[in-house]
Chain A
């Protein structure tokens, strides 16, 4: 069945009619062409699909687009406007070598942004606890920890 949804994506008002079964991640990637958000496990476990919903981290692979109606979504594309400087979290991942293949990276970056927005000066333990559910199969977690630390200005 079709469902009319109205939401903000990266600051822009979006109104669409989508099948009720459309997942938020598919809505972002296929309906809006925002392919920065990646899908890996599809069941909420890996964190690759992390976006912000009303500023809070959420797994877009187990959320319906209909559930996002009326809410504000931020994806990795929303961090730095076209042609502008990268967001400090993105820059920190580059500076610290916080990624290799990059599949997990948009999710890592969004998770880190979600952390720093609520806690600008996290301890290493707080970073670990927050980021522990964002899995990376290639970089190794020390570089990711270092990236978040750098983004926090340490």
Chain B
């Protein structure tokens, strides 16, 4: 590995000041699971690492009026196992449970996952479905963005140089809604998904889909919301025929690439199958 300096500031202003001072030559490190691997492979060679691990304000989970505020350096394992997440955000707990293995989730942080911009990660579709947003801070300003605006392209994000993800905000799911996160894993249980689907359904008193949200991962340059598939079911009784129609629509909405996990055409077909299954599971949960 190349030579670099390691900084471990204890306050956010200090961390932001270091990022400003070293500019392009600085890189934030949180859990390091991605960054250390990239540095070992010489794909990233920053001269300065600014660790967020000791920055107190980025730790911890707080319940506020607009939802759950998860600090950027909270580990993915801590989200998965937090009792309040398991009871009120079961979809979130289930999604983080499916990331890699325990020994990775014990290190990998929520903020590191968001900032990496990898469309093959598990949390993005779920966070789209839950309508989550992120707060970004620089030495100049603080701003909050919906996650749909965070991921801008293949491994590209709206995080600007000198900016740090400070927290993830996840609103409560609609009352009585059912949800599902499904990850198609034909190779090993700890693999990245061939295709992943998050779905959330809320039914009205007549049993029609009042609120319906579907998003997919590993199915395009960023995680995608299947808005046309949602429209097929919105306001309608979720019959088997309509669920299949929505699944077929999702097949047309995704843009997966061919890789070791399958051809693009195969992944489109799998997307349809998994959207159907996720909808069935979410609807059963809502009933």
Contacts and interface: CB of A to CB of B under 8 A. Distances in A.
Residue with the highest number of chain A CB atoms closer than 10 Å, among B39, B100, B103: B103
Given A23-B36, A64-B36, A111 B6 contact: no
Interface residues of B, number: 29
Nearest to B33: A62
B86 to A, nearest CB: 15
B102 A114 contact: yes
B51 interface: yes
A19 B188 CA distance: 36
Interface in B98-127: 100-104, 106-107
Contacts of A137: none
B189 interface: yes
Dominant secondary structure at the B interface: loop
A133 B4 contact: no
A124 B189 CA distance: 16
B53 interface: yes
For the complex, would chain A's binding face be called helix, strand, loop or mixed by DSSP majority? Answer: mixed
B103 A50 contact: yes
Contacts of B100: 44, 133
Contacts of A132: 101, 188-190
A23 B1 CA distance: 9
A42 B103 contact: no
Contacts of B36: 23, 62-64
Contacts of A53: 106-107
Contacts of B54: 70
Interface string B1-27: 111111010000000000000000000
A130 B102 contact: yes
B8 A59 contact: no
A56 B77 contact: yes
Given A3-B6, A20-B4, 4 more contacts: A1-B5, A20-B5, A132-B188, A133-B190
Interface of B: 1-6, 8, 29, 32-33, 36-37, 39-40, 49, 51, 53-54, 77, 100-104, 106-107, 188-190
